[in-house]
Chains A and B, each alone.
Chain A
Amino acid sequence: MLETVQLSKQFKGKTVVDEVDLYLDQGESVGLLGPNGAGKSTTISMISSLLKPTSGDVTLNQQSIIKNPAELRAVLGVVPQDIALYQELSAYENLKFFGRIYGVPKQQLESRIQETLEIVGIKERQQGLIKTFSGGMKRRVNIATALLHNPKILILDEPTVGIDPQSRHYILEMVRQLNQQGTTVLYTSHYMGEVEQLCDRVYIMDHGQVIAKGTKAELLSILSNEDTINVQLDRIDDEFLSSARAIDGVRKVEVSGNSIHIIAKQERQIVSQLVKISDQFDVQIKNFQMETPSLENVFLHLTGRTLRD
């Protein structure tokens, strides 16, 4: 349905998106995962025809949309990362404005506004000014404005940044329902849990490139021969860390507060080795946990960094 072919973008000689290939089939929910600065928003801007690529192509049903984006824009709803609303107008007035902009027929506009307000759960507050809304409510209106014209494809760029857990849950549930009703979804986030919860397939981006892609199961299989171990210590000791990294089979050791996060090959005697070096350097192990691999672990495995680095 929607596809990018060798999509690249350079700004002042610096490559921010590098030959990205991805596709969305009709009715799919696809995640685009990566840390801040990975090139997700630039990729989305090019897919949605806001930004022209330096090279490569974006196609909708095998037709390039670079030179003629009108066909794509008619079926596309984009929820930008930033709140793009008139702060001094009410939620209703904002929806009316965007409904008119998207050419929703006059006789349907009122009913579409009310339906959309219902979907995002702010029907009762529709006359409230946006500037008086909480972050979560603004995000909901931000999403609502992209739904007014019943888009076939919905692109959401980090729609849950900076909001409370309740609003986040509401938005995720809303996106899931829209997808179940047939809307194709491209969802970008640096929250692994959201993508795991919502998406059928995932693209992982870092430094402008797609470094992994596939279904959740396919991505997790990358770690099928590895264990993830969380160890909580009473203190962090440099010599202990050096020794831990030197244990045979340990691929990565990440430090977070007084805890360390170890990825190591399976069937190795990592635990006994850890106990041994903790005695050697007088470091006390306070807690110990073997983790089920997650996409977060996949990302760490692929990049050596966590998503929020």
Chain B
Amino acid sequence: MKPIFLAQLAKDRRNPFLIILLVVVSIVATVLFTSGTQAPMTIQIYSEADQAEAIEDKWADLLSEGTDMTFEVTEADQVKENIKQGQSEVAVKLLEDDYKLVTASNTPTIYYVEQHVRAVFEREARIEAAVSDADQQGEMREAIQTELNDPLMTMDVQSTSGEPLTNYDMGIQLMFAFTLLVAMFIIGFRVNNVLKDKVYHIWNRVILSPVSKTKMYAGYLLYAFTIGFVQTAVVLVIFNYVLDYDLGERFGLVLLVLAVFTFSMVSVAMLFTGFVKGPEQFYALYPSIIPLIPLISGAYMMPGTISNPALVFIGDLFPLSHAMDALVDLAIYDATFQEIVQPIMLMILISVISMGIGINLVERRSS
């Protein structure tokens, strides 16, 4: 087992650029895609209604209240040009009592902006409904505003564990999603070494040595596990300790989930290896299928966005959705070990089944 592990390591030491590149890509992609959701932004707003100026003045103030975002009134043509050129991710077209988001992309920032704008419009709609029947509408509005600022009752929302409800941080979720996506690639390519060494006749030569087949598989798979785990752990350590992402108070449990996920993905890659005819087919199919898994699992979207039962079922067949559940719970809600036992057990179950079928298929093909 050890010689096989060391030979794989020697190959990567000779050519470490792919792994380094993938690690850098996962960090850069996370920073690029999530920084926008955390930093204050300026959002352009405009109206093409009859009373455009009044509408813009009214909503510019309301939208800018209580948020880091700044809503800036801009000419309609200018807004459209900026969107077209990619200089603005999103803008808001104001109607009298409604709005439309104008965008040419689908990034987490848009979801973040949409959440805020919808909340402001809903609150304003409720106030409008309340004052519409009043005789003194101006005074009524003022009274409601005063009550809202200093309410008679305050609501303290808590989680089921009794702790304060934490704001959902989409950036953390995306960081995990990108890191695990890159890990899936690295792990798969390393597991594919089994097929490569079979094609290049090294496998048969090792069979003729005193090393048992169990130890041979163990050598290849342990190496794929080690590389995958070290890569993800390094990336998360950088995010946690260098880039100051808040990954919760239980970083040890985060690493445990990563280890189980990595083992599980090694098994899934082994299963994939059992289905393909050779390393070239693996290289062609694996990179085509893997990027779909985070999409189906909803790893790039707010929880609950994927509600189609078929997609949810398919997503649950892969370890990614369970790893995301556990990691997000740990990072955002400071979950305990008991709270992440279920996703961990599901990943272990996927590992056992995939590994068993995968090795059997590879062996059957060999014989």
Which A positions have Cβ atoms within 8 angstroms of B?
48-50, 70, 73-74, 76, 78, 80, 82-89, 93, 97-98, 100-103, 129, 145
Contact = CB atoms under 8 A, between A and B. Distances in A.
A74 B200 CA distance: 23
Which secondary structure dominates chain B's binding surface?
A: helix
A73 B207 CA distance: 9
Contacts of A78: 205, 208
Interface in B1-49: 2-4, 6-7, 10-11, 14-15
B11 A89 contact: yes
Contact of B15 (A82, A84, A88): A88
Nearest to B15: A88
B206 interface: yes
Contact of A93 (B4, B10, B15, B201): B10
B209 A84 contact: no
A86 B206 CA distance: 12
A103 to B, nearest CB: 6
Nearest to B197: A86
B210 interface: yes
Contacts of A48: 208
A76 B208 CA distance: 8
Given A89-B10, A97-B3, A50 B208 contact: yes
B144 to A, nearest CB: 73
B206 to A, nearest CB: 6
Contacts of B209: 73, 98, 101-103
A86 B7 contact: yes
B62 interface: no
A73 B208 contact: yes
Contacts of B201: 80, 82-84
Given A86-B202, A89-B7, A103-B210, 20 more contacts: A50-B207, A76-B208, A80-B205, A84-B201, A84-B202, A86-B200, A88-B14, A89-B10, A93-B7, A97-B3, A97-B6, A97-B7, A98-B209, A100-B2, A101-B3, A101-B4, A101-B206, A101-B209, A101-B210, A129-B14
A109 to B, nearest CB: 11
A84 B207 CA distance: 12
Interface residues of B, number: 20
Contacts of A100: 2-3, 6
Nearest to B211: A101
A73 B213 CA distance: 14
A221 to B, nearest CB: 37
Interface of B: 2-4, 6-7, 10-11, 14-15, 200-202, 204-211
B7 A50 contact: no
A92 to B, nearest CB: 11
8 smallest A-B Cβ distances: which pairs? Answer: A100-B3, A84-B201, A101-B209, A84-B205, A82-B201, A97-B7, A101-B3, A84-B202
B325 to A, nearest CB: 39
A25 to B, nearest CB: 22
Nearest to A48: B208
Contacts of B202: 84-86
B208 A49 contact: yes
28 contacts: A49-B208, A50-B204, A50-B208, A73-B208, A73-B209, A73-B210, A74-B210, A78-B208, A80-B205, A82-B200, A83-B201, A84-B201, A84-B202, A86-B7, A86-B11, A86-B202, A88-B15, A89-B7, A89-B10, A89-B14, A93-B7, A100-B6, A101-B3, A101-B209, A101-B211, A103-B209, A103-B210, A145-B205
Contacts of A74: 210
A192 B200 CA distance: 28
Contacts of A97: 3, 6-7, 10
Contacts of B4: 101
B200 A84 contact: yes
Listed residue (B15, B202, B211) with the most chain A CB atoms within 10 angstroms of its CB: B202
A100 to B, nearest CB: 4
B7 A70 contact: no
A85 B6 CA distance: 15
A293 to B, nearest CB: 37
Contacts of A80: 201, 204-205
B109 to A, nearest CB: 43
A100 B219 CA distance: 13
Contacts of B205: 78, 80, 84, 98, 145
A89 B6 CA distance: 12
Contact of A102 (B7, B200, B210): B210
A97 B200 CA distance: 15
Contacts of B15: 88
A73 B210 CA distance: 6
